[in-house]
Amino acid sequence: MAPKYPIGVQSFAKLREAGYTYVDKTGIIERLITEGKCYFLSRPRRFGKSLLLSTIEAFYQGRKDLFEGLEISRMEHDWQPHPVFHMAMNANKCQTMHDLEATIESFLYYYEQLYGRNEPSDSLALRFGALIRSAYNKTGKRVVILIDEYDKPLLDSVGNKALQDDLRAILKGFYSNLKNGDQYIQFAMLTGVSRFGKLSIFSDLNNLQDISLSEKYSAICGMTIEEIRDNFDEGVRELADKNKMSAEEAYAELKKNYDGYHFSPSSPDIYNPFSLLSALSNSYLGAYWFSTGTPTILVRMIRDMQIDLRDLEHLEENIDDLMDASFDLSNAVPIMYQSGYLTIHDYDPRFRIAKLGYPNREVEQGFLNGLMKIYTSNSQGRSEFDVRRFVLDVEAGRVDDFMTRLQSLFSGYQYDQMDLGNLELHYRNVIYLVMKLMGFYTHAEMRTAAGRIDLLVKTPRYLYLFEFKVNESAQAAMDQINSRDYLLPFRADGRKIVKVGVNFDDSIRSIATPWIVDYE
């Protein structure tokens, strides 16, 4: 019998009572609650942060019945209930000060009905501090504070500096109770997607331990291959049967699509839990995580900051800076890492440099598709890109048809805000996106003994060498291919070699006609 998949289930009590399969993280949670007191954890959306906090909530409520058979039940604990304040900051979209105030007010009112409101005050921060003391005095137990998606109000208001300054002031005072009320607190944890390191919110909370890059907690959210085999092997076999694959082929496809996250330099491979469970439930390998939220802000940042898209495959960043996102989003790399669009691929401990890249095929293809829409959409927001037609043209050697389609991509884009330097990078990025999305081996500016090839594309029958010029001529591009003997490394390849010289004409903001094609 296939497992009961807990897709979107954020309540630990509901998950256990309804018989959903639970990947036992309670051993890690036990370490968390015994080795420290106040924590912060950053993980991408839909990675199980809410379920983690709900599990901790159930533990501190003394719900021993829910933990029967789990690792933590075999360890010594008194299971005495504590007052638990559990707040979800994503309960209300925050577009005004009133939205944030209403969210906090609702939270305070609910718990004040349970523990009393003994100190009248209009200040939300002071009310929270009074509530903590009241709960402690009423029960004789220290309180537990769990705040989910702490950063949601800040992410909702990106681009509105005045509003963000006001929101920060409220949140700073509200969250300061995690330090000021230390003597009344048994355990506290904040979770979110982004850690805005330069915010006063975190500079004041110096008692908050950031475990986002901790090796000990790298698998606290998401799933390892061992957990998948232990809990969902039957589901993987069902996926294999329905897609006419062997079980090991199914495991390989799941790894290619949903694995690859590393949340510390020595992290095990972590699978995206939402996509994995969705694929097993539907017996279909889809882009589940990416389709639930398009990173519009990120893809626009990359375009507007004039980032060379080839760099996204081999970025390097100081490991400490990965958890230090700037509030004005001036550096896209920490945001992309924290949001789950990049992950750690390698680490140089001597210089504390992390090498980053896409975690898996789902993220890479989804992100590149999002970029393609931004880079090529016309004023009506439509994209002329059709990957299937490009693939068929390139596979069949129909270069003129391929180039005509490519020309249409540039013709449909609005270039009014770009200078010539931006245009050259824009041209190169669009070409790169087309080739990557086609799924072929692509190597931009490949080094040879004589220089760099602008673009090399391999298909089963053809090997394409592209050279691009801006405001020169297609002939100049072809002359460079020939004069530098770019073909030399490929003469024994066995495939038909196609040389393509292309010129981008700034006066028409597109590929100039004619381009030159030569076959070897």
pLDDT attached to residue 497: 94
Beta strands 185-192; 38-42: pairing state: parallel
Do 239 and 204 lie in one domain? The reply is no
Out of 291, 312, 333, pick the residue that ends a domain: 291
Q: Is the peptide bond before 514 cis (omega within 30 degrees of 0)?
A: yes
Residues whose CB falls within 8 Å of the CB of residue 436, separated by 6 or more in sequence, listed in order: 364, 368, 442
Looking at the structure, do residues 338 and 381 belong to the same domain, yes or no? no
Q: Look at the block and give the residue holding tokens 């997607």.
A: 193
Environment class of residue 161 by beta-carbon count within 10 Å: exposed (0-12), middle (13-18) or buried (19+)? exposed
CB 82 within 8 A of CB 53: no
Is residue 88 one of the residues assigned to a domain?
A: yes
**CATH for 33:** 3.40.50
- Token pair, residue 491, equals 């003469």
Q: Does residue 438 share a domain with residue 401?
A: yes
| pLDDT at residue 77 in the model | 92
- For residue 344, what are the β-bridge partners? 356
Q: Are residues 324 and 385 in the same domain?
A: no
d(CA 226, CA 403): 47
Answer yes or no: do 88 and 153 share one domain: yes
Residue 176's Cβ-side half-sphere holds a number of Cα atoms within 13 Å equal to 17
Task: Looking at the structure, tell me whether residues 420 and 495 fall in a common domain.
Answer: yes
CB 409 within 8 A of CB 372: no
Instruction: From 188, 217, 246, give the residue that closes a domain.
Output: 217
DSSP label at residue 223:
B
Predicted model pTM: 0.90
Asked if the structure places residue 7 within a domain, the reply is no
Domain count, the chain: 4
**Structural domain of 357:** 296-362
Whether 3 is in a domain gets the answer no
- Is 4 inside any structural domain? no
pLDDT tens sequence for the chain (520 residues): 678 999 999 999 999 999 999 999 999 999 999 999 999 999 999 999 999 999 999 999 999 999 999 999 999 999 999 999 999 998 888 889 999 999 999 999 999 999 998 777 789 999 999 999 999 999 999 999 999 999 888 888 877 889 988 998 899 899 999 999 999 999 999 999 887 665 556 667 778 899 999 999 999 999 999 999 999 999 999 999 999 999 999 999 999 999 999 999 999 999 999 999 999 999 999 999 988 876 677 777 787 788 888 888 889 999 988 987 765 667 788 889 999 999 999 999 999 999 999 999 999 998 888 888 888 764 444 444 678 888 889 889 999 999 998 888 887 666 665 555 577 788 888 888 888 888 766 665 666 665 678 888 888 899 999 999 989 999 999 999 999 888 888 888 899 999 999 999 888 888 999 999 999 8
475 with 494, same domain?
Answer: yes
Residue 278 inside a domain? The answer is: yes
240 and 316 together in one domain: no
Q: Is residue 6 part of a domain?
A: no
Q: pLDDT at position 380, please? A: 45
287 and 305 assigned to the same domain: no
Domain end among 247, 275, 291: 291
CATH number at residue 420: 3.40.1350
Are residues 89 and 178 located together in one domain of the fold?
A: yes
Same domain assignment for residues 342 and 489: no
In a domain, 170, yes or no: yes
Positive/negative CA dihedral, 292, 298, 303, 308: negative
Residues 409, 441 share a domain: yes
5 assigned to some structural domain: no
DSSP state of 271: B
